[in-house]
């Protein structure tokens, strides 16, 4: 009997020891876990600000509200290249415009939402939208194509399309550069000004490329 009692006692002690170790591990896990979320959130917050650098002014809002439809029209123009363009450089350029400007549209929409400002209407990408020449809500956007410009581009094919596309997109890009320069001069939001700088760099390079294409077509 004494042997049984000794075995039971030893088993109890072992079980108790395991329980204490488990508790210690659990407490250790709690301590580690409570510190990790703060570290993770801090890293995420530093790389992707919930509101683009917080502060913004009217120029930042105007930049986003006008550049969204401006970019949307550029994407619409680029989409027309499929099945119409003949020049490899035009095809490549159109694809690059779609790839670059679609994400920028979504970024700027996110800014306006976080700022509590209205998104531009779906019709704002049309060059002859109401108020285009005499008010806000998308007015005064340089380089925007008219309905006729878009219709002429849509009707063109081959080399005729290539030349029209390059000419119209050059003017469109020049307008975007003007808008971006205004944002860099008058805006206050760091992220909006950074995007404006990226627009200037990318579209200035594309303007130079399109001028070379126009010269050889």
Over residues 183-215, the pLDDT tens digits come to 999 999 999 999 999 999 999 999 999 999 999
Rounded CA-CA distance 198/186 in Å is 16
Span 102-154, pLDDT tens digits: 999 999 999 999 999 999 986 655 544 333 333 333 346 999 999 999 999 99
Angle, CA 62 vertex, CA 208 and CA 175 arms, to 5°:
20
What is the third-level CATH fold of 58-216? Answer: Ferritin (1.20.1260)
Total-model pTM: 0.70
Backbone angles phi, psi at 185, to 5 degrees: -80, -40
Reference 172, options 73, 103, 42; nearest CA is: 73
Rounded CA-CA distance 75/89 in Å is 16
Question: CB-based contacts of 83: which residues, under 8 Å, 6+ apart?
Answer: none
Q: How confident is the model at residue 26 (pLDDT cuts 50, 70, 90)?
A: very low
Reference 128, options 71, 59, 183, 73; nearest CA is: 73
Could you tell me the two tokens for 81?
């290249």
User: Where in the chain are the domains?
Assistant: 1-48, 58-216
How many CB atoms within 10 Å of residue 174? Answer: 15
Secondary element (H or E) of residue 110? helix 88-115
Burial of 43 (0-12, 13-18, 19+ CB in 10 A): exposed
Share of the chain above pLDDT 70, in %: 67
Distances (CA, A) of 169 to 1, 47, 130, 193, 199: 97, 33, 22, 23, 14
CA atoms within 13 A on the CB side of 193: 13
Share of the chain above pLDDT 90, in %: 66
């Amino acid at each position: 009997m004494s042997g049984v009692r000794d075995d039971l006692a030893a088993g109890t002690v072992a079980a108790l020891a395991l329980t204490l170790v488990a508790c210690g591990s659990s407490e250790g896990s709690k301590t580690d876990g409570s510190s990790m979320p703060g570290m993770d959130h801090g890293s995420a917050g530093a790389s992707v600000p919930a509101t683009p650098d917080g502060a913004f002014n009217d120029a930042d809002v105007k930049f986003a509200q006008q550049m969204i439809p401006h970019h949307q029209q550029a994407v619409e123009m680029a989409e027309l290249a499929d099945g119409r363009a003949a020049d490899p450089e035009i095809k490549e350029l159109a694809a690059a415009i779609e790839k670059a400007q679609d994400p920028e549209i979504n970024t700027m929409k996110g800014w306006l939402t976080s700022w509590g400002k209205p998104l531009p209407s779906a019709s704002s990408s049309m060059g002859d939208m109401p108020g285009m020449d005499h008010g806000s809500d998308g007015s005064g956007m340089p380089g925007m194509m008219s309905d006729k410009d878009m219709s002429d581009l849509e009707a063109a094919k081959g080399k005729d399309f290539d030349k029209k596309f390059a000419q119209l997109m050059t003017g469109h890009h020049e307008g975007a550069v003007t808008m971006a320069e205004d944002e860099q001069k008058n805006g206050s939001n760091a992220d909006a000004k950074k995007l404006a700088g990226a627009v200037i760099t990318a579209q200035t390079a594309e303007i130079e490329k399109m001028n070379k294409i126009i010269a050889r077509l």
